[in-house]
């Protein structure tokens, strides 16, 4: 099938929801969160259900068109788009249905974290999500899904109960412990490499409110804040998850602590947060009980749509003095008022899960570091990239092999493979079974490779 024939077939299915590069509005339709992504697909197929996704996949395969999938479009590397390819755009598929009695939620493949938290909130229920509401749930959960409830309830992937997936040949299938258990295993950590996820079912948890917020300190107090963070989280209960690092301030970077206490004993959480306040002289103190939906919106304003972004990341076993020094030095050398350094914490329930139980293999406590270079449109990238690379290199002596695949870039092939550890061989076997031609390539390291 030629591309022109594919366009006619797609138009017959989608009507004006097929957008071609020649149409007005195409540039707006192909735009993703990161303005640095300049990839130009040929076609964008805005699907409304799994049947349409199946049809689009079959037509694209017959025409030899490269495929990509857009859910939230929040991946910094722009893997939702492929040059000259066809984008399966799920942004019109955002419905969320909550079964409060069963404490489950079913979401369509284009639903965002904010959609789920907002729908679950009236029932007093929460889901294990990330900390940015605009992130797509499909990408978050299939890649792993670190978040503020990780210590008590695990990764987003650990709370995935099942999924509907359209495979590379266009077949819709169910994945779950009682359906296709192999595919379900691969989806929980293996990313969008096995098909188009058109629906997901999540476990929900009763949590009326959370004690959370942000403490910000002068940058000069960064070493004390980071060292104190390391001491506190080393012995804290699973119910406490803390983010730290450096965020933009009005006059330059500020050190920060962002605690999330999801335990039943609020007084215990207050005592731990009091210890954090004592690590320096907070110039911002906004920690209080709040609904979970509000807690996961705290970082939305920092992710400015229209800015350019580049990420580097490392996994650390601990925030050592060397790491604290490297991060503090980087904050003083920052090249943009929008850039940030974020330290996350993997622990508790997520660390107690069986490493072989899902594709997400790195189940020992660790600290994923996000080195976020962000700059205004029109600025050259070179100095911002050099800054981010220098921070990553400074952390290399204390970094673990691998890294969180959702944060890795297209050139991080070796680290992506290392991140799967002993699970890599099985994951590659399943990739060959479900997608032998490498149609889906969210993690290039899994495409057409042998273990």
DSSP code string of 400-412: PSS--GGG--TT-
pLDDT on residue 300: 77
Torsion angle of the four alpha carbons 109, 113, 114, 117, in this order, in degrees rounded to the nearest 10: 110
Give the DSSP H or E segment for 261: strand 254-261
Model's pTM, two decimal places?
A: 0.94
Listed in sequence order, the residues at least 6 apart from 104 whose beta carbon sits closer than 8 Å to its beta carbon are 98, 161, 201, 202, 203, 204
Please say whether the structural domain 96-206 has been given the CATH code 3.30.465.10. yes
What percentage of the chain exceeds 90 in pLDDT?
A: 85
- Helical axes 50-63 vs 3-14, angle rounded to 10°: 170
Name residues of the chain where pLDDT drops below 70.
1, 442-451
Cα–Cα distance for residue pair 151/164, rounded to 1 Å:
28
pLDDT on residue 444: 55
Q: Tell me the domain boundaries of the chain.
A: 3-89, 96-206, 210-407
Cα–Cα distance for residue pair 266/208, rounded to 1 Å:
12
pLDDT on residue 449: 45
Instruction: Identify the CATH number of the domain defined by range 210-407.
Output: 3.40.462.20
Cα–Cα distance for residue pair 200/193, rounded to 1 Å:
16
Q: Provide Rg for the chain, Cα atoms.
A: 21
**CATH architecture of structural domain 3-89:** 2-Layer Sandwich (3.30)
pLDDT on residue 442: 60
pLDDT on residue 161: 98
Residue 67: how many CB atoms within 10 A of its CB? 20
């Amino acid at each position: 099938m030629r591309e022109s024939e594919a366009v006619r077939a797609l138009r017959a299915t989608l009507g004006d929801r097929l957008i071609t590069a020649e149409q007005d509005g195409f540039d707006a339709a192909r735009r993703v969160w990161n303005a640095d992504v300049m990839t130009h697909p040929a076609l964008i197929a805005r699907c409304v259900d799994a049947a349409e996704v199946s049809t689009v996949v079959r037509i694209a395969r017959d025409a030899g068109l490269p495929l990509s999938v857009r859910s939230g479009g929040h991946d910094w590397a722009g893997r939702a788009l492929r040059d000259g390819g066809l984008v399966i755009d799920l942004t019109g598929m955002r419905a969320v249905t909550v079964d409060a009695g069963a404490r489950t939620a079913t979401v369509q493949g284009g639903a965002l974290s904010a959609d789920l938290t907002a729908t679950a909130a009236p029932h007093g229920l929460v889901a294990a999500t990330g900390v940015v509401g605009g992130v797509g749930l499909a990408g978050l959960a299939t890649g792993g899904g670190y978040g503020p409830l990780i210590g008590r309830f695990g990764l987003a992937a650990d709370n995935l109960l099942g999924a509907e997936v359209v495979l590379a040949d266009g077949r819709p299938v169910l994945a779950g412990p009682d359906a296709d258990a192999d595919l379900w295993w691969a989806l929980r950590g293996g990313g969008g490499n096995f098909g188009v996820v058109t629906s997901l079912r999540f476990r929900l948890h009763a949590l009326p409110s959370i004690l959370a917020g942000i403490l910000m300190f002068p940058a000069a107090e960064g070493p004390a804040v980071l060292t104190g963070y390391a001491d506190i989280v080393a012995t804290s209960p699973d119910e406490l998850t803390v983010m730290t690092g450096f965020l933009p301030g009005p006059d330059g970077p500020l050190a920060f602590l962002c605690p999330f206490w999801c335990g039943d004993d609020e007084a215990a959480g207050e005592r731990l947060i009091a210890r954090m306040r004592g690590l320096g002289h907070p110039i911002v103190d906004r920690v209080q009980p709040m609904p979970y939906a509000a807690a996961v919106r705290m970082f939305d304003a920092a992710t400015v749509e229209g800015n350019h972004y580049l990420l580097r990341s490392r996994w650390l076993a601990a925030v050592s003095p060397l790491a604290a020094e490297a991060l503090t030095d980087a904050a003083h050398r920052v090249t943009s008022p929008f850039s940030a350094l974020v330290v996350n914490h993997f622990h508790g329930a997520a660390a107690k899960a069986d490493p072989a139980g899902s594709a997400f293999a790195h189940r020992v406590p660790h600290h994923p570091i996000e080195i976020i270079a962000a700059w205004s449109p029109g600025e050259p990238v070179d100095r911002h990239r050099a800054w981010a690379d220098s921070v990553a290199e400074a952390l290399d002596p204390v970094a673990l092999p691998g890294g969180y695949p959702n944060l890795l870039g297209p050139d991080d092939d070796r680290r992506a493979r290392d991140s799967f550890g002993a699970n890599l061989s099985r994951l590659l076997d399943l990739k060959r079974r479900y997608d032998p031609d490498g149609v889906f390539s969210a993690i290039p390291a899994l495409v057409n490779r042998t273990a």
